[in-house]
A = this chain, B = another copy of it.
Amino acid sequence: MDNNKFMQMSIELAYENTQKSKGKPFGAIITKNGEVVAKGVNDVLKTHDPTAHAELQAIREASHILETSDLSDCELYASGEPCPMCLTAIYLANIKNVYYAYTAEEEEEAGLGTKYFYQQVALPLNERDTKLINLQKNYQDHNPFSLWIELNKAKH
Contacts and interface: CB of A to CB of B under 8 A. Distances in A.
Given A25-B147, A85-B89, A121-B122, A99 B133 contact: yes
A98 B138 CA distance: 18
A67 interface: yes
A50 B59 contact: yes
Interface in A50-71: 50-51, 56, 59-60, 63-64, 66-69, 71
A98 B130 contact: yes
Interface string A131-144: 11111111100111
Interface in A88-119: 88-93, 95-103, 106-107, 109-112, 114, 116-118
Contact of A85 (B8, B14, B50, B92): B92
Nearest to A114: B88
Contacts of A151: 18, 22
27 contacts: A4-B138, A11-B142, A12-B142, A15-B139, A15-B142, A18-B151, A25-B147, A48-B63, A48-B66, A48-B67, A49-B59, A49-B69, A51-B59, A51-B60, A51-B89, A81-B134, A84-B85, A85-B85, A88-B114, A88-B121, A92-B117, A96-B129, A99-B133, A99-B134, A100-B135, A102-B137, A106-B145
Closest 4 CB pairs of A and B: A25-B144, A85-B88, A14-B144, A50-B69
